[in-house]
Every structure is written in structure tokens, then in C-alpha cells.
Amino acid sequence: MKILGLFLAIILTFASAAFAQDLQVPQNAVAGEGASISTSGSGSATFYLTGPGTSLKRDFKRGETISLSADDLAYAGRYTAALDGGGAQSFFVTAAKPAKLNFMARPSRVPVAHPDVISGVVFVLDRNDNLITTPTTVNFQLGIAGSAPTTRPLQSKNGIAWIKAGSGNREGAAQFTASVGDISAKRVVQQVASDPCNLRMKAQADGKNIQLQTEPIKDCSGNAVPDGTIVTFSESAGGRGRSTVDARVKHGVARATLPSVPGATLTVASGVVLGNEIRWSGGQ
Amino acid sequence: MAIHKSSTRSTVILLAIVIVLASAAPSILRAFADEPGAGTIQISTTGAGPREVEETTQKAIERQYTAAWKNMTAALKDNRADLLDAAFVGSMRDQLARRIEQQKKSGTSTRYADGAHQVNVVFYSPEGTALELRDTTEIEQQTLDGSKVIHSEKVRQQYLVIFTLVEDRWKVRIMQALPTS
């Protein structure tokens, strides 16, 4: 009885091996390129191919070669070829050469002269959106018109390359580019003036009031802060109260009118940046 | 007398079996507890970067990846592309929809049974909108023509999976089987 079981097992092993050899699947198939599967034996059979994005069923004559089109093998991954009478073989299709870069750049607006505020992530894809998992050099370039761009080549890992970069010193639309060979993807990062630097104001008597005006407000790199930036003027007169006015920057300067209180202290600030202080003597 | 002797022997054997099973039960139960069940997804974030994976994100990914496998399995079994939208987006959704369309035309279907998944987060983008996983799992795949099973196989497979944040939900954008080394 044991001998019979062993005999049957050997027959089954040989039979399945024989069925498997009915199909010769491609060894180095590439996504988006055609391939062929050769068959052996005689008689009609039905061929099935399942894989990413594909499910084929075809009648054919054993011994013929089955052609698979570029569209049949559009996607990278594992494919299984099977025959209805038994027998199956699996094979892998790898991604083709880089053809697309899915480039995410964040944020779209950054203050100038800040380290590591811009991030770029690139997914390296072939023309059918398959992820190219073999390491690929991605060149990242960040620069503003009129100044030399910063370039950094980085190697992709598991299909992804990423970078963190600092913003430049000049405001304006910075071109953020990722490229692999002659394929590139471009994003624009708007660099805006940073916080005000050396905030200064002057005061002038105007009847019973004081006219306050800042000097042109710039950041530490010399870029004019955008109009609309809030500047706070304050007047502190000891026991006689305190007045505060929030003014918006217009044409590079901010203005405010406060009541004239002799002996009061006038201050100016924008965000966390403090400007100069004036002790008001009553317009003298 | 003979009958009595035989029944005593049976009782002794039965008792011996019960004792052996009872003594082995704790180890069997422990073994089952250690072995993650079919379809369970355990995500490890060790070594993920450059951004640290938040606990809420890890839970969301676990939930969405479990849903992705469940929906993909059901969609390919019943040829229903409408089941894909909840968990897939972009080229991965298109790829599965195309396969379902071809299955419908040829009257075929695919049955998947996935085992436990060992998942590692290998990348989480600095701004927190894309995440890449490497998943190792054992799957059983059956190709059916009508109700006839054409082929059945069990394979250990590794996948690279890219999730992207779509509106307020993580969805699978790429899920690519890797060649076994």
C-alpha cells in the first residue's frame, strides 16, 4: 500500500512538472513592451493570463507561441500564465525606463532666508505609472531668476527621492525643478519677505495729535515686507492710560495718528519684532 | 469478562488522550496567539522617515490598508469596480478597474486569500501627505473561469505600496509586487 502511494506521488510530481514545462514564460519582461510565451504539446487549449491590470483568456493550439502585446503587460508586477488542462508558470514584469516624475513641492509660499522650509518629494515612474524601484539619480534645483540656482543630485530609494531645502535671500517666484535625464517637473515656490528687521518710526506733532510713520519696512535680507503686514503703534502715558493702533503697511510704510500726551512713551512693533521707542516731549 | 476488559482499556486510552491534549493545550493556544491571523495587518514604523509617523496616521493606515485588501479581494471575486473607490485612487484604481473589465468580458474572476501581513513604513513625506509601505504576505490566488478553478497557487509576496492623502482619507495610489530575490 505504501509503495503504491509513493508511486502515485512520483507520477503526480512528474505530471505537474510536465505541465509546467508546457509554458515557457519570459524571463526579463519589461512593462509596456510585448513578450511571448512558447507552448509545447498538441491539441487545442485555453490560455489564461492574470496580472496587474490584465486578465486574458485565449484559445490556442499547443505548440504555438502566444504573443502578448505592450498593453497586455502594461503594468509591473507578478503575472501568472495558466492552461485549462493544468500547468501554470509565473513571471515578473519590471518597470520600464523613467518617463514621468510625480513631484510634490511644499509649501507654495515661504519666507526668505529660512533653513529647511521647502520640501520636495519625487516618485520616479515609467510611462505607465509603474514605480521604478531601481536607484535612480534625481537632480533637484532651486533658484530665482537672476541668481545662480542651487543643485543637489540625490539617489531614489524604493522609487522615491526627497529633499529639504532652505529658501533663498531674495523674494520672488523660485523655480523648483526635479529632473532625471531629460525628464523634468517644475514647481513654483513663492519666496516672500520675512519678518521686518530694524523697524524704525518717527513722530511729528500735528495739533493735538502725533503723526507716526515708519521708515520703509524691510526684512533682514533687504526685501520690502508685503503691503498689508500689520504694524502696531502704542502710546503709554503712565497713569494717564495707553492707546494702541494697528496699521497695515501701505507702499512699504505704516502710519498712525495718536493723541499727543507729553511724557508718553511711543513704541512700534510688528509680530514679534520690536522697533524703536520715542519719549514724546509734546512736540518740542 | 472480555467485554469488561475491553471497555477498561478504552477508558484508559481515552483518559490518556485527554491528559495529553490537556497538557498540550496551553502551548497550542500560545502558538495560535503568537501567529498573526489571516488578513491581519501589523504596521511597524521603526526606521520610517523623514517624518515621524503619528499614532493617528499609523492607525488610519492600518485601517485603510486592511480595507484595501478586503475591497480588492471582493472586487476581483465579484467583478465589481465600484468597490474600489473607497480605498484606491489614481493609477492603482485604474489598473484594478481594467482587470475587472477584462475579467467581466472573459467570464473569469480571481479569488485572493491573504495571510498575515508584515508591514514596514519605509517613507513618510516631510509634509505628511504621502507614505510608502513594504508589505510581506502569503497569498493564495485562484483563477476561475465561471465556477471552474483553472489555477490555484500559494505564494509569499512582497509589495511596495504608496498611500496618498486624498481629501481627508489615505488611499492606495500604487501597489506593486516585487520580484522575489
- The domains of chain A are located at 2-94, 100-192, 196-279
- Provide mean pLDDT across the span A88-98: 96
**Chain A residues touching residue B108 (CB < 8 angstroms):** 48, 50, 55, 57
CB-CB contact of B109 with B103 (8 Å)? yes
The reported pLDDT for the residue numbered B6 is 59
**Cβ within 8 Å of B, A 65-84:** 75-78, 80, 82, 84
Q: What strands, in cross-sheet order, belong to the sheet with A109-111?
A: A109-111, A183-192, A172-180, A137-144, A150-155
Mean pLDDT along residues A163-179: 94
Does residue A208 surpass a pLDDT of 70?
A: yes
- B69 phi and psi angles, rounded to 5 deg: -65, -40
How far is Cα B151 from Cα A219, in angstroms, rounded to an integer? Answer: 70
Task: Tell me if chain A has a CB within 8 Å of the CB of B27.
Answer: no
The answer to whether domain A2-94 and domain A196-279 are alike in fold is yes
Out of B50, B110, B127, closest to residue A106 by CB: B127
Assess whether pLDDT exceeds 60 at residue A153.
yes
* Ordered DSSP codes for B16-83: HHHHHHHHHHHHHHHHHHHSPPTT-EEEE-TT--BSPPPHHHHHHHHHHHHHHHHHHHHHHHHT-GGG
Contacts of B147 in chain A (CB under 8 A): none
Interface mutation vs chain A, best among B104, B143, B147, B180, most A CBs within 10 Å: B143
Distance, CA of B85 to CA of B88 (rounded, Å): 5
What is the structure's pLDDT at B16?
61
Average pLDDT, whole number, for chain A? Answer: 90
User: Shortest Cα distance from A82 to chain B (angstroms)?
Assistant: 7
The dihedrals phi and psi of B30, each to the nearest 5 degrees, come to -60, -40
CB–CB of B174 and A129 under 8 A? yes
- Tally C-beta pairs within 8 A across A and B: 110
Q: Is A56 on the interface with B (CB under 8 A)?
A: yes
Question: Residues A218-235: pLDDT tens digits?
Answer: 999 899 998 999 999 999
Q: Which of A259, A256, A258, A275 is nearest to A267 (CA)?
A: A275
The CATH H-level (homologous superfamily) assignment of domain A100-192 is Macroglobulin (MG2) domain (2.60.40.1930)
Q: What is the pLDDT of residue A9?
A: 47
CA–CA gap between residue A62 and residue A39 (Å, rounded)? 6
Q: Tell me, yes or no, if A131 comes closer than 8 A to chain B by beta carbon.
A: yes
- A136 pLDDT band, cuts 50/70/90, is very high
The CATH number for A2-94, chosen from 1.10.10, 1.10.150, 3.10.450, 2.60.40, is 2.60.40
Q: Which numeric CATH code is attached to A196-279?
A: 2.60.40.1930
pLDDT category at A145 given cuts 50, 70, 90 is confident
The structure's pTM equals 0.79
Chain A within 8 Å of B96 (Cβ-Cβ)? Answer: yes
Q: Which of B108, B176, B178 sits opposite A48 (nearest CB)?
A: B108
Residue ranges, chain B, pLDDT below 50? 1, 26-36
Q: Do the beta carbons of residue A192 and residue A226 sit within 8 Å?
A: yes
pLDDT score recorded for residue B33: 41
**pLDDT(A58) > 70:** yes
Contacts of A164 in chain B (CB under 8 A): 50, 126
pLDDT for A4: 52
